[in-house]
Amino acid sequence: MATQVQTHVNGVNVDQLVGTINLIKENPGLARFTFRSKTEWVNGGHSRTQIQSFYGAGQEDTSRSQPFVLEGDEPPVLLGNNAGANAVEAVLHALASCLAVGFIYNAAAQGIKVDSLDFDVEGNLDLHAFLGLSDQVRPGYEGIRVNYRVKADAPRERLEALCDYVQKTSPVLDIIANPVPVTITMQS
Amino acid sequence: MATQVQTHVNGVNVDQLVGTINLIKENPGLARFTFRSKTEWVNGGHSRTQIQSFYGAGQEDTSRSQPFVLEGDEPPVLLGNNAGANAVEAVLHALASCLAVGFIYNAAAQGIKVDSLDFDVEGNLDLHAFLGLSDQVRPGYEGIRVNYRVKADAPRERLEALCDYVQKTSPVLDIIANPVPVTITMQS
């Protein structure tokens, strides 16, 4: 009788995951990705971002027939009309979404089945810099706090080790916790 | 004949903007904001974030009767199903959305009418760290490039000065370009 091999754990195709890792070991250039967005101002605090194409795994990706559309706006207290979450709120989404992928993929690779995983994230900032009232206060978050809850078929120590590992390898956590060079050009 | 005062520029209520700045000058604590998100893992690379409440201007905000819902997922080449933009793409949205608000609000405060404003953003990263194949490569973006196009009723030099000013005061640019302390706790 053939052994029944379970290739999906947590909705992740573990065979494909292992295959991707092996491909990149053989051809490191496949790990290079360029992601892109296009954002158009709509009115007041409202802008709209479209995200579709990217380059990765050695080619332009064509898997998305339509762009994802993300609305950004401010709440009325910040002079907007609540057409979408604001920019600093979108950062919190990006962080939790990244930690979720990292946790789930690594759990799958280790054969840990996750029943549920969720995150509460908050960040505090002071608007003095944004409003031009002080250059002694930073414009961005002074600090961000993430609270994770996870239920999975593994002992607590393994889940904590996984949580630590995910923190070392999370792209968005690195982007927030460490400096990224940003070049801004106004086209003529 | 009474002078017709134009209080909206670029869709921004300039009277309210000036009023907000004056209120904060009188009571600096009003500038303190705490933003929040809740993210729940769905399946595989797919998670869903809800963003609704925040604290700011001295109170809990109640302007949003429904949460904003942001989906995060990976494309198939990164083992997902394209249920949404991925986490590092959401960072690009956050950055452009923040620069747009900063540009438009400051232009409004200076009486500059903006006809159009849009941004192309891209960032490159190497997946070796995320996949656990190298600790010599950072997990996040190696660099981000923003290209701005703006049409407005002001000379080029003023727009460039505005662009420079926005870069000094943008919360998301600061979050990306400089380190933010992040505390991550797994709840028992």
Q: Among B5, B13, B21, which residue's Cα sits nearest to residue B108?
A: B13
Residue B83 in contact with partner chain A when CB distance is under 8 A? no
Q: How far apart are CA A177 and CA A169, in angstroms?
A: 12
Residue B117 in contact with partner chain A when CB distance is under 8 A? yes
Instruction: Determine the distance in angstroms separating the CA of B1 from the nearest CA of chain A, rounded to an integer.
Output: 30
Residue A83 in contact with partner chain B when CB distance is under 8 A? no
Which stretch of DSSP H or E encloses residue A156? helix A156-169
Specify whether the CB–CB gap between B51 and A89 falls below 8 A: yes
Show the low-confidence residues of chain A (pLDDT under 70): 1-6
Measured in residues, chain B has a length of 188
Query: What would the pLDDT profile of A8-35 be if each residue is shown by its tens digit?
Result: 999 999 999 999 999 999 999 999 999 9
- For residue B175, CA distances in Å to A21, A138, A139, B37, B178 come to 31, 9, 8, 17, 6
Q: What are phi and psi of A12, to 5 degrees?
A: -105, 130
Residue A14 in contact with partner chain B when CB distance is under 8 A? no
H helix runs in chain B, sequence order? 14-26, 87-109, 156-169, 171-177
Which pLDDT value is given to residue B131?
Answer: 92
Instruction: Determine the distance in angstroms separating the CA of B157 from the nearest CA of chain A, rounded to an integer.
Output: 11
- Asked whether the beta carbons of residue B180 and residue A177 sit closer than 8 angstroms, the reply is yes
Residue A2 in contact with partner chain B when CB distance is under 8 A? no
Which pLDDT value is given to residue A128?
Answer: 96
Specify whether the CB–CB gap between A106 and A165 falls below 8 A: yes
- Asked whether the beta carbons of residue A72 and residue B100 sit closer than 8 angstroms, the reply is yes
Give the count of Cβ contacts less than 8 A between chain A and B: 455
Instruction: Determine the distance in angstroms separating the CA of B4 from the nearest CA of chain A, rounded to an integer.
Output: 21
Q: Among B75, B100, B101, which residue's Cα sits nearest to residue B88?
A: B75
Strands A182-186 and B143-152: parallel
Residue of A nearest to B54 (CA): A122
Specify whether the CB–CB gap between B61 and B84 falls below 8 A: no
Q: How far apart are CA A186 and CA B163, in angstroms?
A: 8
Chain B positions in Cβ-Cβ contact with residue A104 (cut-off 8 Å)? 41, 44-45
Q: How far apart are CA B71 and CA B42, in angstroms?
A: 10
Show the low-confidence residues of chain B (pLDDT under 50): 1
The 3-state DSSP class for residue A18 equals: helix
Which pLDDT value is given to residue A10?
Answer: 97
Q: Which residues pair with A126 in a beta bridge?
A: B32
Residue B20 in contact with partner chain A when CB distance is under 8 A? yes
Query: What would the pLDDT profile of B19-64 be if each residue is shown by its tens digit?
Result: 999 999 999 999 999 999 999 999 999 999 999 999 999 999 999 9
Residue of B nearest to A17 (CA): B79
DSSP A113: P
Q: How far apart are CA B57 and CA A78, in angstroms?
A: 9
Which pLDDT value is given to residue A5?
Answer: 59
How far is Cα of residue B16 from the mean position of the Cα atoms in its chain?
A: 21
DSSP A57: T
- Asked whether the beta carbons of residue A144 and residue B180 sit closer than 8 angstroms, the reply is yes
Interface ipTM above 0.95: yes
- Asked whether the beta carbons of residue B124 and residue A20 sit closer than 8 angstroms, the reply is no
Which pLDDT value is given to residue B5?
Answer: 59
Question: Chain A, 29-68: which have a CB under 8 Å from a chain B CB?
Answer: 31-41, 43-47, 49, 51, 54, 56-57, 61, 63-64, 68
Task: Quickly tell me which residue has 């789930």 as its tokens.
Answer: A104
Which pLDDT value is given to residue A3?
Answer: 53
Which of A16, A41, A42 to mutate against chain B (most B CBs within 10 Å)?
A41
Instruction: Determine the distance in angstroms separating the CA of B20 from the nearest CA of chain A, rounded to an integer.
Output: 8
Of B90, B117, B129, nearest to A90 by CB-CB distance is B90
Which pLDDT value is given to residue B35?
Answer: 98
Which pLDDT value is given to residue B3?
Answer: 53
